[in-house]
Structure 1
Amino acid sequence: MSRPQDPPRSFFPFGNPFRMISPKGTTLSPQLLAVLCAFEATLEEKLKKLIPKSKDEVVSLSWMTSAMQALCESHNDIKTLMTDLELPVTDWEEKWIDVYLDISVKLLDICIAFSSELSRLNQGHLLLQCTLHHLGSSSSDQLFRACSSLDGWRQHVSSKNPRIEKCGSILDNLVGSSDLPKVKKSAKGKVLMQAIYGVKVLTVFVCSVFATAFSGSTKNLIDMDVADVYSWAPTFKGLQNLVNEEIRVRFSSGRITVLNELEAVDSSVRELYPIIQGVVETTETESHAKTVEKLGRSTENFSQGVDLLVKEVDGFFQVVLSGRDALLSNLRSGATINGDILGGKRDAQAVN
């Protein structure tokens, strides 16, 4: 796994697989080239939209929601591409299918881990709501309960999620399995493999950032070295460098989290905690009320951001799961695949 001091690692650790899957002399027709160029142009547009306008947007829950949306769209774009290519199931080698099924399982495991962490964050939100409720009264008993709730929140937010802790090894295995097996001498296969490569790069990047943000450590942060032969490579490198660099800067400054909304909550808690403990005396009722109000706003923003992200992660899980189901269904029927090798919708149909 890449560390801050490690050199960027290649997404394909054993060299460029297109040298193996695209035999010499295989050229793309103008039609296939147009299909590939359109796909990669769409992918690049998605990458551009994920480039934060400022470092303050790294890493916000809204950015993470947009990133997960981009993943869902890109995986569904593969489904559309396969429809355009009309690749029959007979062109799918057994090893290729096995690799896809293995990758899809890893993506499902990652989605489950992310969902469990978002659920854990929502549990923490309940503790913050209890704090705000107790702060509605000035009685010493209610302040004691508010302090107790904040203690619970601080312990909860600093604890580790075992499922997130396992994401690093899953990501390493996902990268290691990206050396795709050979495809029969097929120009269509070449187009599909190059498209899949681009989507995999985006997938690993996004999942790496999520795992890093949720784990509170850069140990899950991956730097991918993408060759400049791909039209979208410069845009991706710019995105990756900006996001990964900012994440490392934040952790090096001692922040407990790189999540903007969670950091805002923690800042309000640090400000309010000594006041309700009585460590810091304040006779300014208005000032105290503003501090409580600040915690209320940051808590609400955090809760809303988590709820939106939960929906997108669940949506990506369904994209991957339904694509896997579509592939298995078509394999059983022996029909032509019109599904998504990386995940598609349940309405994928067989094409004769």
Structure 2
Amino acid sequence: MSRAQEPHRPFLPFGNPFRMILPKGTHLSPKLLALLNTFEETLAARLKKLQPADKEDVLRLSWMVSAMVALCEIHTDVKTLITELELPVSDWEDKWIDVYLANSVKLLDLCISFSSEVARLKQGHLYLQCVLHNLSSSSSNQFVRARSSLDGWSKHIASKNPRLDNCFAVMDSLVQMLDEPKIKNSSKGKVLMRAMYGVKVVTLFICSIFAAAFSGSPKKLLDLPVPGSYLWAGEFMAIQTFVNTEIRSIHSSSRLTILKELETVDTRANKLYPIVQEDGVELVETGVLKELTLDLKNSVEIFSQGLDHLAKEVDRFFQIVLTGRDALISNLRIGGDPFDQVQGGNIKKDQMVR
């Protein structure tokens, strides 16, 4: 795939973190080179599969679910690579461990922020359920109750989630940490750091999209340049340019929200509002109320199902990061493979100890 034209790059005051991790003159054994190439080719394939079919797919909940699934797969891929490198934790340098632990706790913070926003949107869904319930009744004050629920929905959706402010700061700090530690005497370490760089770039890209979708603003979208020496660089630049361009275009149209299903629900809720006013009763006899209520019901069901699927995948990503972090900490004490399976089942977000 030809490399897409690079978008405007933001000023990076901390220097150039995008230098090659494997400098000229570095030689890898055929086995290490094969492991690295397989990892990078797999990453390129996952990015290609994630490329939206058209611009209408961008910021749909179904695409965001696919993005989170891809992120889970990529983080699982790097754990598999570490195991195949046969690089026990006793051989890890302190600076590698520090970087991994620092990055992982920041990713957990992002998951918590995203989960809180999904939960907030689900709370708004309750207002719409009340609207649908009231409009399906024959009570004399059905319109009064429906109007109250619609007012509650509008206020809830217009409110801001303070946790999202924290996720922007977290992403800024992760950008600062893209500059991997210099590896001098370990070929396996160089392979590991190069792979981790790819994981971090793609993770930042996807988290940046989630932050834009949930906040309704593309101001914090990241345009990350990637050297062409990476086998996944072309696919990454193509999807980053396509998705970021579409998100900025959506925002420039002055929509209330840039999350597609949420926009559909809100538009249909607003169409119902005039009917629940005092002069809207006449429209009941024409069938307009029934038609608009059915439209809202269908869009609410799609919205609710999408939120459920997204919540599940965000939680799965949280568990992947958390179990990997716990496995590394455990093996720092006893030695062995960095990512031996952690026993004890899933750990809830509110049980996380830093």
The TM-score with structure 1 as length reference comes to 0.90
For the Cα contact (< 8 Å) 2:216–2:259, is it kept in 1? no
Q: For residues 129-168 of structure 1, what are the structure 2 equivalents within 5 Å?
A: 129-168=129-168
Is 1:78 aligned with 2:101? no
Q: Call closer, same or farther: CA 1:279–1:166 in 2, change over 3 Å.
A: farther
1:7 pairs with one of 1, 6, 9: 9
How far apart in 2 are the matches of 1:338 and 1:148? 55
Aligned to 2:287: 286
> Alpha-carbon deviation of 1:17?
4.8
Is 1:299 aligned with 2:300? yes
For the Cα contact (< 8 Å) 2:18–2:225, is it kept in 1? no
Count of residues paired in the alignment: 337
Aligned to 2:229: 229
For the Cα contact (< 8 Å) 2:9–2:225, is it kept in 1? no
SS at structure 2 position matched to 1:87: coil
Aligned to 1:250: 250
Which amino acid is the alignment partner of residue 9 of structure 2?
Answer: P
Aligned to 1:346: 342
Q: For residues 149-188 of structure 1, what are the structure 2 equivalents within 5 Å?
A: 149-188=149-188
How far apart in 2 are the matches of 1:157 and 1:16? 39
Aligned to 1:121: 121
Which piece of structure 1 moves more, 23-32 or 97-106? 23-32
Q: Call closer, same or farther: CA 1:50–1:279 in 2, change over 3 Å.
A: farther
Which amino acid is the alignment partner of residue 67 of structure 1?
Answer: A
Which amino acid is the alignment partner of residue 109 of structure 1?
Answer: D
> Alpha-carbon deviation of 1:7?
2.3
For the Cα contact (< 8 Å) 2:9–2:224, is it kept in 1? no
Which amino acid is the alignment partner of residue 309 of structure 2?
Answer: L
> Alpha-carbon deviation of 1:190?
1.6
Note the alpha carbon deviations across 1:231-280, whole angstroms, 9 max, x for none.
11111111111111111111110111111111110110121111212455
Which amino acid is the alignment partner of residue 65 of structure 1?
Answer: V
> Alpha-carbon deviation of 1:12?
8.6
Is 1:44 aligned with 2:44? yes
Q: Call closer, same or farther: CA 1:218–1:187 in 2, change over 3 Å.
A: same
> Alpha-carbon deviation of 1:345?
5.2
How far apart in 2 are the matches of 1:207 and 1:88? 30
How far apart in 1 are the matches of 2:10 and 2:213? 19
> Alpha-carbon deviation of 1:312?
0.4
Note the alpha carbon deviations across 1:183-206, whole angstroms, 9 max, x for none.
241221121111111111110001
Which piece of structure 1 moves more, 164-173 or 292-301? 164-173
Note the alpha carbon deviations across 1:88-131, whole angstroms, 9 max, x for none.
22332212211211111100000000111111011001110001
Aligned to 1:239: 239
How far apart in 2 are the matches of 1:80 and 1:260? 35
Which piece of structure 1 moves more, 97-106 or 83-92? 83-92
How far apart in 1 are the matches of 2:96 and 2:59? 35
Which amino acid is the alignment partner of residue 318 of structure 2?
Answer: F
How far apart in 2 are the matches of 1:345 and 1:66? 25
User: Where in structure 1 are there 5+ consecutive unaligned residues?
Assistant: 348-352
Q: Call closer, same or farther: CA 1:8–1:50 in 2, change over 3 Å.
A: farther
For the Cα contact (< 8 Å) 2:50–2:67, is it kept in 1? yes
Aligned to 1:308: 309
SS at structure 1 position matched to 2:185: coil
SS at structure 2 position matched to 1:282: helix
The TM-score with structure 2 as length reference comes to 0.90
Q: For residues 259-270 of structure 1, what are the structure 2 equivalents within 5 Å?
A: 259-270=259-270
> Alpha-carbon deviation of 1:295?
0.2
Question: RMSD in angstroms over aligned alpha carbons?
Answer: 2.1
For the Cα contact (< 8 Å) 1:47–1:235, is it kept in 2? yes
> Alpha-carbon deviation of 1:230?
1.1
For the Cα contact (< 8 Å) 1:95–1:181, is it kept in 2? yes
> Alpha-carbon deviation of 1:68?
0.6
> Alpha-carbon deviation of 1:287?
2.1
For the Cα contact (< 8 Å) 1:26–1:185, is it kept in 2? no
> Alpha-carbon deviation of 1:171?
0.3
For the Cα contact (< 8 Å) 2:18–2:226, is it kept in 1? no
Aligned to 1:350: none
Which amino acid is the alignment partner of residue 332 of structure 1?
Answer: R
Note the alpha carbon deviations across 1:218-237, whole angstroms, 9 max, x for none.
12211111111111111111
User: Where in structure 2 are there 5+ consecutive unaligned residues?
Assistant: 1-6, 344-354
How far apart in 2 are the matches of 1:16 and 1:118? 33
For the Cα contact (< 8 Å) 1:93–1:183, is it kept in 2? no
Which amino acid is the alignment partner of residue 153 of structure 2?
Answer: W
